[in-house]
């Protein structure tokens, strides 16, 4: 692991700190300039990108599950910040509330419920790690190459961020069907998860 | 699809009543689930109560699908606005027909479950909710015309499936199976979503028609389509997972062996069929986006990819089935092989040459129908044998022909049908697929004919092992079977259907062919210019 | 009899055994031991035989025009439309069908009869009672399938019945499934047949796509038209091994026949199939099912190009020679008959390839009679000797089973082609079965190989010389013609022969036919000489078998003491012996000759009816007739000379011949060769695959240890495989090995699944991204020439 | 470099994607694999939002899709945790390498 373990709470704190300028930069998201730029944005972006990538790698290389969960939390926070940077405030909030606040907590519950000692390690053969790293690196390189080569079909530049009003309307009109389906899905999931996790009375 | 943000009254754009009617079978499924949720509160959670409610729901859904079937014409009928559900869902003969079929199959599986696991299971409401939930997901899969709905539908079909595979919580193997299924499924879904996001970036939309039009335009325009290829490959991972195409088939034998046999029956047919129909819809939209027949060879690389994958899938499935001791696992591998055959048909209707338009499509649909009955029959017999013998090993079939001829005869018919022996419907299914492949007149088509035929030969062995096992006399004289009457009825009806479908192949084929016509009547306004097509033609000719 | 009565009768004849089958399945147990057999005899074959006889008699009474009308108007029922082609269920009503139908029912009836006696001897089984009815149920199912095959008017339905027949064969070979040999044999038969059917399927699909029909008649007409126009399948330009697509069509269909009729590379299953009950050998593996291949070739004869026919002839020729040689050294009575069957089937196929359409079918019928009889005789011997099949332990049985002995002898005479050359009584030659049929095949082969060029000239100037040629033709060959001529209804209309049929048939197809006729090359001379030489071998090994079994002194007193015969079993023998003696005088030859003109649209059919002979050719045929006619004398003399006094002389020869004997005894090591090719070839593939697998997947686990271990296992398996022999073991073992390879990623560890899938995805993406050119240039041109 | 464009975000997403993939391949804890899945899903959402921002015009499809992805992730996590608990109570571990009774 290339980051000292002791530093991870510090990174968490840094992420929260970094969220502030990000939030400040796009106050309501409506009146954003057509071409935001400048040094500030670049700096913020690189900080956030470093946070996201670093913590994602932290997830990769952590040996125990609790650390992984914490790193994931940092990653999710960082992703939320990228949303803010992209002027998608609502999505950033959802990311923080639902993802970091809900899904991650669910996973942590899972961790707690399924390990005798949360610090237990499962070692993986070195060669296997190497193979996985090779696959991941190959993919990373090829994807980067192809993404940088691609010319995107519309280069309209940056557009104004959406308001929650617009999002809500679209969600409940155009995307009404998937919305309802997602609702049904959640209901089914609730039933299924409850069934699986419930203690059977014998 | 158009964003409707600017419109003042959104609901004027479409006929709500009509659309609700067109999609009423799915709404009925949701209502059935709600009914089952309500039952424990109002009446009680006894298996009988729940199964009555579920059968009522299935019947209503079937009836509604039947009614809708009568009203959808040959063309794809759209819901909500000019485009179906704003291009998110379609209702055509294909999707509604699939729902009809699904309900029949669902009824069969439920019956099997009630005879089997239900006897020791106290959680009928959960089981039915999950089962119907996955059925709803499959219905959505075949109706979706948009990558977003497609993804959601796949999840809707998969997530309850994970849960029902490990439904029996006292079952170690089931737990392991559901874990593997879930992990593999989650990974594939994640990759698919990543692909979807790339597709969105490239196309600017997730509507399948627009994706198809964009793809065709790019390819004929000679643009660099690498990223599109990568993105579509990632999307295909999700579909391949549902179809269990090699190399995304790994979950299939493990999950199928570990699951309760009723669940295996359900997944082996319904989820694969839904995946295949979805693939078929996607491919036919691609075809529709190509403006003239001459340019069909634009899509040749796509056909080759799917064709080769199909050939590998069939071969791997058949070979892997060889050494299996567990009949369930053997049938799981055989289902991989059959998925391979069906994929072959999907690969070639990308070439709708004048005479063969839709041949691959209707061949595949026919095969699905036949496959449903033969698998229900084979799994039904295996289920009853394994309940009796306490194991799903092949030894359980020892001397079945003497111990229970009413199980052995349908099994022989089902196995013969799976092999593709003549007097059973399986032969017709295979024959039609071969015809569709041959009709393309391409190297690909004929290579697939050869591969499929050789595979049939290979598969002979392991199916025959069961037949031989049934004939072999048991050393110890075991008593005759006491199988439930309804179970015997179920498998025997399936066997008879297999024979009937063979002899009534003509009308059957015409009916099924009707299901596929709607796909080809979809017209896509393609942004492809004629100059770019000319370029593509020249290049193809070189 | 008018209208559709013919079809109704035939259809009832087909359905009756089917009904019998179902009744036996559900009520066989009730019927009990002899009851089930008698029931099967009546429903399975009695009813069809009566109907067949009735149909045959009616058919013989009507004139040609009526027959043509009946054939034309035979009912067809629409079954399904595939790809715009309508497929009909119907009955092919012509002389060939009726003759075959009668032949099958007649012979099968007596074999059923025989079985009742034969199977009752097997009461020592634990559940012999159930087995008993099951046997007859299978036989009935077979009867249904075989009759269905004969009457099918459509290639698809022919194929369906064809598969059913194969299934019945599978079931019946493995009837004693608790023993290992039948189990292997049944799988071997099934698989080998499926290999042939694979070709059949390809051929059928070519017919379907290029001729746009599966109806036998229509296909032939379209084929002729396409040939004449140089369109359709003749315009494809596709070639493989130098064969055009049209030729591949014919060869593909012939592949099916190669499987069923056990022709050379696919012959391996038939000798092993003798593991089944003897009546089954008689019925299926001598008289009917194996003949189905010949019947198929006859039916699709008009779809065969000259090249395809040459291929057919070559395969037939190779089979007939090689198998006869193997028969020389067999000591198992059934195996000996099996190889003789192979050789005779080779004759039929060879005849078909030569164009001796009529003669080959004629030989099919005569062979069916005498070979069924011979097999039943051997069954009687085996049953009487308590399942001893080794001829070296028999000897002198004529005293214990005289009827069997002498009926067997008639069979030997028949297969040897015994007759008195050059003598006629009342206008008919004197001879048994093969005397006429085999010699006719040889005569056609002679014409094709030696006088083909002159034959063409004669064909051109045919016009007036009809009558005189007829009289000048070879005496012996003339015998069958005389029967033809004796029926005034069709003495003259040119139906009996060759390319002349075209002139009677009308102008439209004539051009096409004539052109093909011109393109037909002469037969290589070696083929004729091989066939001729084999005609000398046949009598030798048949006489050898007979002598070793029935004559001389008993070599095993124990066996001799137990030997006996029962009337239930020798009555059929006697009847079939009568059939053998008179089949060649009966209407079969006549009916085939009548069916022949239909087969002249595209290719040529030769029949020795005199009409094709110049006086010079007839003279040549006369020598030939004496040469062949004498063959049986020479063969018999040699056999008696060697085996007349026990086995000592034979042993001596065996020792002298050494390696040659081994070669024959081991059947040219063909099984071993298959084994080698399959195993080794597949192992190489498997090794490569496994090496890849080992390299990619297991690298992570433990590199060297695992690899070494796997290698060791491999070597072990490799050696082990060599210890096991037999093609079935081979194929299944190979498949199991391949199975191991394809299942090896299925480790049970989900992580390795994910890794495997991700690796594949990574490789795909890598290729996509770093490929040298954009994908739109990677278009693979469609090969439009392959399909229609 | 200093002008932040679409590609920058896409590359962040690629890193997330590959990190997730690596995690899925190397973690023996079932929940660890799920965490890898979450990373991949996040990469998809980053992509979607970035595309929406830079190419989407007035449409909000990307953001909406991202919302649905988050919902799907939650649903999947819920059922996954249920299954993990079930596996744990049956096998006594969530080590996926030890859940290999079904094989071949």
The answer to whether B163 faces chain D, any CB pair under 8 Å, is yes
Query: Are residues D103 and C751, on separate chains, in Cβ contact within 8 Å?
Result: no
When pLDDT is averaged across residues C215-235 and rounded to a whole number, the result is 78
Q: E-strand spans in B42-194?
A: 77-78, 90-91
C-alpha angle with apex D80: A106 to A138, nearest 5 degrees? 100
Residue C386 — left, alpha, or beta (φ > 0 → left; ψ -120 to 50 → alpha)?
Answer: left
Query: For tokens 């796949």, what's the residue?
Result: B154
Q: Which residue of C has its CA nearest to B302?
A: C779
Among residues of chain C, what percentage have pLDDT more than 90? 0
**Residues A83 and A176 placed together within one structural domain of the fold:** no
Place C205 in a pLDDT band, splitting at 50, 70 and 90. Answer: confident
pLDDT reading at C691 higher than 60? no
D25 contact residues in C (CB cutoff 8 A): 751, 754-755, 758
Please list every residue in chain B whose beta carbon sits closer than 8 Å to the beta carbon of residue C761. Answer: 191, 233-234, 237
- For A135, which of C703, C762, C770 is closest by C-beta distance? C762
Confidence check: pLDDT of B114 > 60: yes
* B321-331 confidence digits (pLDDT tens): 877 888 999 99
* pLDDT tens column, C31-68: 777 777 888 888 888 888 888 888 888 888 887 777 77
| Higher per-residue pLDDT: B418 or C646 | B418
CA distance C761 to chain A (A): 9
SS (H, E, C) B214-251: HHHHHHHHCCCCHHHHHHHHHHHHHHHHHHCCCCCCCH
Q: Residue C496: which pLDDT band, with cuts at 50, 70 and 90? A: very low
ipTM score here? 0.83
Q: Which of D41, D82, D102 sits opposite B257 (nearest CB)?
A: D102
Q: For position B298, what pLDDT does the model report? A: 66
C240: part of which helix (H) or strand (E)? strand C239-240
Between chains, do C766 and A142 touch, taking CB under 8 Å as contact? yes
The verdict on A114 and A53 lying in the same domain is yes
Q: How far apart are CA B298 and CA B535, in angstroms?
A: 11
Are C696 and C364 spatial neighbours (Cβ–Cβ below 8 Å)? no
pLDDT confidence of residue D40: 94
Tens-place pLDDT, residues B54-107: 999 999 999 999 888 877 765 554 444 444 445 678 887 788 888 998 999 999
User: pLDDT tens, C538-568?
Assistant: 888 888 888 777 877 777 777 777 777 777 7
Nearest residue on chain D to B168, alpha-carbon basis: D86
Nearest by CB: B458 against C183, C202, C735: C735
Which residues of A are less than 8 Å from D56 in CB distance? Answer: 159
Residues 733-772, chain C, touching A (beta carbon < 8 A): 755, 758-759, 761-762, 765-766, 768-770
Does residue C391 or residue C146 have the better pLDDT?
Answer: C146
Burial D64-82 (b: 16+ CB within 10 A, else e): bbbbbbbbbbbbbbbbbbb
Least confident of B105-114, B227-236, C296-305: C296-305
Instruction: Name which of B151, B257, B247, B156 is nearest B206 in CA terms.
Output: B151
Q: How far away is chain A from the Cα of B130, in angstroms, using its nearest Cα?
A: 6
Rounded Cα distance between C722 and C735, Å, is 15
* Measured torsion, CA atoms of residues C663, C667, C669, C675, in degrees rounded to the nearest 10: -170
CA C684 to CA B429: how far, in whole Å?
34
Same domain, residue pair A110 and A48:
yes
- For chain A, the chains sharing at least 3 beta-carbon pairs closer than 8 angstroms are B, C, D
- Decide which of B273 and C643 is more confident: B273
A-chain residues near B3 (CB < 8 A): 170, 174
Domain D6-99 classification at class level: mainly alpha
Nearest to D65 among B148, B191, B253 (CB): B148
**Strand, coil or helix: C494:** coil
Q: C764 and B233: CB-CB below 8 Å? A: yes
pLDDT tens for residues B193-216? 999 999 988 888 888 888 888 888
Q: What is the pTM of this model?
A: 0.71
Contact criterion met (CB < 8 Å) for A138 and C762: yes
Residue of C nearest to B444 (CA): C782
Q: Which two tokens stand for residue B394?
A: 């092949």
3-state SS, residue C221: helix
Q: How far is B228 from chain A (nearest CA, A)?
A: 10
> Which chain D residue lies closest to C740 (C-alpha atoms)?
D104
Question: Is A86 touching D (CB cutoff 8 A)?
Answer: yes
Q: Regarding beta strands C239-240 and C85-90, do their DSSP bridges make them parallel or antiparallel, or are they unpaired?
A: unpaired
Residue ranges of domains in chain D:
6-99
Is there a cis peptide before residue B443, judged by omega within 30 degrees of 0? no
What DSSP state is assigned to residue C241? T
Please indicate whether, in this complex, the C-beta atoms of A181 and B227 are within 8 angstroms of each other: no
**B201 near A CB under 8 A:** yes
- Interchain contact B233–C (C-beta under 8 A): yes
Interface test with C, best of A122, A130, A142, A148 (most C CBs within 10 A): A142
Q: Which residue of A has its CA nearest to D18?
A: A136
Q: What's the residue count for chain C?
A: 788
> How confident is the model at residue D53, as a pLDDT?
83
Which pLDDT band holds residue D35 (cuts at 50, 70, 90)? Answer: very high
Contact (CB, 8 A) for C361 and C606 = no
Contacts of C296 (CB under 8 A, 6+ apart): C158, C162, C253, C256, C257, C260
C675/C669 Cα distance (integer angstroms):
10
Residue A3 counted as domain residue: no
Shortest alpha-carbon distance between residue B157 and chain A (Å): 9
Whether the CB-CB separation of B313 and B245 falls below 8 Å is answered with: yes
Inter-chain touch A197–D2, beta carbons under 8 Å = no
Contact B153/A166, CB-based, under 8 Å?
Answer: no
How far is residue B159 from each of residues A90, A108, B271, C158, C170, measured CA to CA in Å?
27, 20, 12, 48, 46
Q: Which of B35, B260, B189, B111 is nearest to A187 (CA)?
A: B35
User: Hey, what's the torsion of the CAs at B436, B441, B446, B447, to 10 degrees?
Assistant: -110
B159 interfacial to chain D (CB closer than 8 Å): yes
Return d(Cα C400, Cα C224) in angstroms, integer.
Answer: 59
Asked whether C17 and C45 are in contact (CB, 8 A), the reply is yes
Q: How far apart are CA C781 and CA C785, in angstroms?
A: 11
Structural domain boundaries, residue A129: 20-147
Closest Cβ opposite residue A140 in set D18, D64, D79? D18
Quick check: C781 and B355 CB within 8 A? no
> Touching check for D43 and chain B: CB below 8 Å?
yes
Q: Which of C46, C61, C86 is nearest to C5 (CA)?
A: C61
3-class DSSP assignment, residue B209: helix
Write out pLDDT tens, residues A131-158. Answer: 899 999 988 998 888 888 877 765 455 5
Q: How far is CA B188 from CA A94, B152, B162, B194, in A?
A: 24, 13, 14, 10
Top residue of B24, B163, B170 to mutate, by most chain A CBs within 10 Å, is B163
Assess contact for C686 and C744: CB atoms under 8 A.
no
Nearest chain B residue to C759, by CA: B247
Q: Are B89 and A177 within 8 A, CB to CB?
A: yes
What angle (nearest 5°) sits at the alpha carbon of residue B46, between those of residues B44 and B50? Answer: 85
Q: Write out the H or E segment, with its range, that includes residue C424.
A: strand C419-425
Contact at CB, C782 and B300, closer than 8 angstroms: yes
Chain B hits for A152, CB-CB cut-off 8 Å, are 201-202
B514 has a chain C CB within 8 A of its CB? no
- The reply to whether residue D34 touches residue A107, judged by beta carbons under 8 angstroms, is yes
Q: Between C and D, how many residue pairs show a Cβ–Cβ distance under 8 A?
A: 33
CB-based contact B153:B141 (threshold 8 Å): yes
Tell me the residues of chain A between 87 and 126 that have a Cβ less than 8 Å away from chain D: 87-88, 90-91, 94-95, 98-99, 102-104, 106-107, 109-111, 113-115, 122-124
Q: Are C548 and C392 in contact (CB under 8 A)?
A: yes
Q: Is D85 on the interface with A (CB under 8 A)?
A: yes
Confirm or reject contact between D49 and chain B (CB < 8 A). no
> Within this chain, do residues A169 and A138 fall inside the same structural domain, yes or no?
no
CA distance C169 to C177: 13
Residue B10 pLDDT: 52
A53-86 burial: b if 16+ Cβ within 10 Å, else e: bbbbbbbbbbebbebbbbbbbbbbbbbbbbbbbb
Instruction: Select from D19, D53, D82, D99 the residue whose CB has the most chain B CBs within 10 Å, as the one to mutate to test that interface.
Output: D99
What are B158-173's pLDDT values in tens digits? 999 999 998 888 888 8
Query: Residue C377 and residue B271: Cα distance in Å, rounded?
Result: 59
Chains adjacent to C (≥3 CB pairs closer than 8 angstroms): A, B, D
Would the CB atoms of D37 and B180 count as touching at under 8 Å? no
First to last CA, chain A: 46
Q: Which neighbouring-strand residues pair with B78?
A: B90
Distance CA B491, CA B457 (A): 26
Of D29, D60, D71, the CB nearest to A65: D29
| Other CB atoms within 10 Å distance of the CB of residue C131 | 17
- Do B361 and B344 touch, CB atoms closer than 8 A? no
Q: Please count the structural domains in chain A.
A: 2
Q: Do A52 and D49 touch (CB under 8 A)?
A: no
- A119 occurs within a structural domain: yes
Residue B4 near residue B13 (C-beta atoms within 8 A): yes
């Amino acid at each position: 692991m290339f980051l000292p373990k002791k530093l991870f709470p510090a990174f968490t704190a840094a992420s929260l700190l970094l969220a502030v300028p990000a939030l400040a930069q796009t106050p309501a998201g409506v009146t954003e300039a057509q071409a935001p730029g400048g040094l500030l944005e670049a700096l913020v972006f690189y900080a956030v990108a470093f946070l996201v990538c670093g913590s994602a790698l932290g997830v990769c290389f952590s040996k125990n599950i609790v650390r992984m969960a914490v790193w994931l939390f940092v990653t999710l926070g960082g992703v939320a910040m990228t949303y803010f940077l992209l002027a998608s405030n609502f999505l950033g909030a959802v990311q923080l509330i639902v993802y970091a606040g809900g899904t991650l907590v669910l996973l942590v519950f899972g961790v707690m419920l399924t390990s005798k000692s949360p610090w237990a390690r499962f070692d993986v053969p070195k060669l296997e790690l190497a193979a996985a790293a090779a696959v991941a690196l190959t993919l990373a390189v090829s994807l980067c190459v192809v993404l940088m080569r691609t010319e995107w079909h519309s280069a309209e530049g940056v557009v104004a961020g959406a308001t929650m009003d617009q999002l809500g309307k679209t969600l409940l009109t155009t995307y009404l069907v998937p919305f309802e389906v997602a609702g049904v899905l959640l209901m089914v999931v609730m039933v299924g998860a409850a069934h699986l996790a419930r203690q059977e009375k014998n | 699809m158009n964003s409707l943000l600017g419109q003042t009254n959104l609901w004027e754009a479409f006929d709500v009543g009509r659309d609700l009617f067109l999609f009423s079978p799915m709404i009925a499924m949701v209502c059935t689930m709600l009914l089952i949720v309500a039952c424990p509160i109002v009446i009680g959670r006894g298996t009988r109560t729940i199964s009555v409610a579920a059968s009522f729901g299935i019947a209503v859904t079937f009836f509604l699908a039947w009614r809708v079937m009568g009203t959808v014409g040959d063309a794809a009928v759209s819901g909500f606005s000019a485009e179906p559900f704003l291009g998110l869902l379609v209702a055509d003969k294909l999707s509604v027909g699939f729902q009809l079929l699904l309900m029949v199959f669902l009824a069969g599986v439920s019956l099997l479950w009630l005879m089997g696991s239900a006897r020791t299971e106290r959680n009928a409401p959960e089981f039915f909710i999950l089962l119907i939930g996955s059925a709803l997901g499959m219905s959505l899969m075949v109706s979706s015309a948009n990558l977003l709905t497609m993804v959601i539908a796949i999840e809707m079909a998969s997530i309850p499936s994970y849960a029902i595979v490990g439904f029996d919580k006292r079952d170690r193997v089931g737990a392991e199976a559901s874990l593997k299924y879930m992990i593999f499924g989650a990974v594939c879904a994640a990759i698919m979503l990543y692909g979807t996001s790339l597709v969105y970036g490239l196309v600017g939309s997730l509507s399948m028609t627009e994706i198809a039009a964009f793809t065709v335009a790019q390819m004929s325009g000679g643009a660099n389509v690498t990223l599109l290829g990568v993105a579509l490959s990632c999307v295909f991972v999700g579909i391949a997972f549902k179809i269990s195409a090699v190399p995304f088939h790994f979950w299939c034998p493990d999950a199928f062996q570990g699951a309760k046999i009723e669940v295996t029956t359900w997944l082996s047919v319904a989820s694969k069929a839904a995946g295949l129909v979805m693939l078929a819809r996607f491919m036919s939209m691609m075809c529709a986006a190509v403006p003239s027949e001459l340019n069909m060879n634009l899509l040749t690389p796509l056909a080759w990819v799917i064709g080769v994958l199909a050939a590998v899938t069939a071969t791997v499935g058949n070979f892997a089935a060889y050494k299996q001791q567990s009949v369930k696992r053997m049938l799981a591998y055989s289902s991989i092989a059959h998925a391979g055959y069906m994929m072959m048909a999907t690969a070639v209707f990308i070439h709708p040459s004048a005479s063969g338009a839709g041949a691959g499509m209707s061949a595949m649909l026919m095969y699905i129908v036949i496959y449903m009955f033969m698998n229900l029959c084979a799994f039904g017999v295996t289920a009853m044998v394994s309940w009796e013998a306490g194991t799903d090993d092949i030894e359980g079939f020892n001397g079945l022909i003497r111990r229970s001829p009413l199980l052995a005869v349908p099994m022989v018919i089902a196995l013969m049908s799976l092999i593709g022996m003549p007097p059973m419907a399986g032969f017709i299914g295979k024959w039609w697929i071969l015809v569709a492949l041959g009709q393309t007149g391409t190297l690909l088509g004929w290579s697939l004919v050869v591969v499929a035929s050789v595979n049939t030969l290979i598969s002979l062995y392991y199916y025959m092992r069961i037949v031989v096992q049934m004939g072999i006399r048991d050393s110890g004289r075991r008593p005759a079977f006491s199988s439930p009457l309804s179970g015997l009825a179920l498998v025997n009806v399936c066997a008879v259907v297999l024979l009937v479908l063979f002899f009534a192949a003509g009308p059957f084929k015409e009916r099924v062919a009707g299901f596929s016509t709607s796909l080809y009547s979809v017209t896509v306004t393609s942004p492809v210019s004629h100059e770019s097509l000319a370029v593509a033609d020249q290049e193809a000719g070189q | 009899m008018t209208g559709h009565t013919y079809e109704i009768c035939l259809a009832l004849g087909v359905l009756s055994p089917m009904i019998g089958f179902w009744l036996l399945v559900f009520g066989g147990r009730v019927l009990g031991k002899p009851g089930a057999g008698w029931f099967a005899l009546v429903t399975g074959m009695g009813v069809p035989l009566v109907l067949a006889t009735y149909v045959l008699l009616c058919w013989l009474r009507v004139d040609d025009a009526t027959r043509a009308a009946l054939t034309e108007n035979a009912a067809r029922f629409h079954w399904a439309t595939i790809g715009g082609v309508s497929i009909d269920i119907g009955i092919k009503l012509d002389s060939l069908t009726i003759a075959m139908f009668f032949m099958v029912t007649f012979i099968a009836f007596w074999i059923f009869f025989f079985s009742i006696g034969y199977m009752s001897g097997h009461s020592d089984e634990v559940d012999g009672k159930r087995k008993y009815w099951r046997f007859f149920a299978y036989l009935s199912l077979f009867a249904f399938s075989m009759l269905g095959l004969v009457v099918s008017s459509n290639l698809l339905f022919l194929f369906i019945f064809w598969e059913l027949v194969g299934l019945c064969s599978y079931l019946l070979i493995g009837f004693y499934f608790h023993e290992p040999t039948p189990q292997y044999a049944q799988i071997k038969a099934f698989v080998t047949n499926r290999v042939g059917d694979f070709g059949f399927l390809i051929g059928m699909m070519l017919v379907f796509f290029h001729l746009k029909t599966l109806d036998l008649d229509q296909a032939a007409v379209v084929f002729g038209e396409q040939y004449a126009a140089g369109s359709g399948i003749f315009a494809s330009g596709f070639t493989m091994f130098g064969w055009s697509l049209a030729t591949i069509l014919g060869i593909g269909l012939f592949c099916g026949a190669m499987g069923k009729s056990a022709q050379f590379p696919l012959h391996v299953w038939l000798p092993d199939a003798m593991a089944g009950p003897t009546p089954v050998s008689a019925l299926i593996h001598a008289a009917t099912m194996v003949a189905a291949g010949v019947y198929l070739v006859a039916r699709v004869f008009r779809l065969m190009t000259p090249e395809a026919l040459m291929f057919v002839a070559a395969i037939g020729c190779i089979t007939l020679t090689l198998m006869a040689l193997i028969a020389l050294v067999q000591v198992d009575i059934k195996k000996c008959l099996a190889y003789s069957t192979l050789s005779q089937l080779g004759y039929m196929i060879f005849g078909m390839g030569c164009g001796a359409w009529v003669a080959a079918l004629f030989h099919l019928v005569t062979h069916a009679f005498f070979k069924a009889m011979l097999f039943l005789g051997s069954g009687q011997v085996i049953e009487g000797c308590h399942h001893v099949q080794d001829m070296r332990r028999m000897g002198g049985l004529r005293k214990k089973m005289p009827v069997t002995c002498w009926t067997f002898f008639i069979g030997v005479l028949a297969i040897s082609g015994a007759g008195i050359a050059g003598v006629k009584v009342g206008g008919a030659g004197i001879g048994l079965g093969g005397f006429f049929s085999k010699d006719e095949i040889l005569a056609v082969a002679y014409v094709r190989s030696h006088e083909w060029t002159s034959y063409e000239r004669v064909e051109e100037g045919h016009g007036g010389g009809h009558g005189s040629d007829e009289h000048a033709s070879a005496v012996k060959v003339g015998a069958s013609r005389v029967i033809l001529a004796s029926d005034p209804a069709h003495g003259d209309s040119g139906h009996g022969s060759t390319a002349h049929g075209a002139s009677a048939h009308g102008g439209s197809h004539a051009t096409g036919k004539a052109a093909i006729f011109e393109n037909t090359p002469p037969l290589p001379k070696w083929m004729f000489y091989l066939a001729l030489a084999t005609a000398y071998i046949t009598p030798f090994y048949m006489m050898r078998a007979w002598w070793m079994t029935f004559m001389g002194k008993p070599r095993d007193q124990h066996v001799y003491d137990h030997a006996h015969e029962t009337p239930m079993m020798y009555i059929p023998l006697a009847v079939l012996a009568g059939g053998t003696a008179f089949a060649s005088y009966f209407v079969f030859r006549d009916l085939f000759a009548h069916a022949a003109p239909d087969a002249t649209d595209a290719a040529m059919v030769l029949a020795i009816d005199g009409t094709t002979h110049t006086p010079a050719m007839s003279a040549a045929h006369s020598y030939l007739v004496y040469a062949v006619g004498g063959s049986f004398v020479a063969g018999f003399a040699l056999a008696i000379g060697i085996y007349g006094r026990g086995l000592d002389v034979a042993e001596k020869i065996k020792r002298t011949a050494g390696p040659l004997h081994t070669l024959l005894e081991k059947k040219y090591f063909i099984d071993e060769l298959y084994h080698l090719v399959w195993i080794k070839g597949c192992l190489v593939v498997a090794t490569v695959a496994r090496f890849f697998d080992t390299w990619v997947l297991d690298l992570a686990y433990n590199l060297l240890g695992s690899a070494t271990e796997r290698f060791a296992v491999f070597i072990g398996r490799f050696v082990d495989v060599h210890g096991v022999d037999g093609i079935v073991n081979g194929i299944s073992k190979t498949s199991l090995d391949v199975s191991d390879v394809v299942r090896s990623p299925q480790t049970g560890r989900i992580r390795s699944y994910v890794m495997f899938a991700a690796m594949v995805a990574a490789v795909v993406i890598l290729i996509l991204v770093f490929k040298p050119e954009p994908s739109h240039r990677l278009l693979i041109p469609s090969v439009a020439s392959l399909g229609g | 470099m200093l002008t932040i464009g679409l590609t920058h975000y896409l590359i962040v997403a690629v890193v997330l994607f590959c990190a997730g993939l690596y995690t899925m391949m190397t973690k023996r804890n079932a929940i660890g694999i799920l965490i890898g899945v979450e990373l991949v899903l996040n990469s998809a959402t980053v992509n979607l939002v970035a595309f929406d921002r830079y190419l989407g015009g007035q449409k909000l499809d990307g953001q909406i899709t991202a919302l649905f992805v988050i919902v799907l992730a939650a649903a999947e996590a819920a059922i996954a945790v249920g299954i993990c608990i079930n596996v744990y109570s049956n096998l006594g571990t969530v080590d996926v390498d030890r859940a290999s009774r079904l094989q071949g």
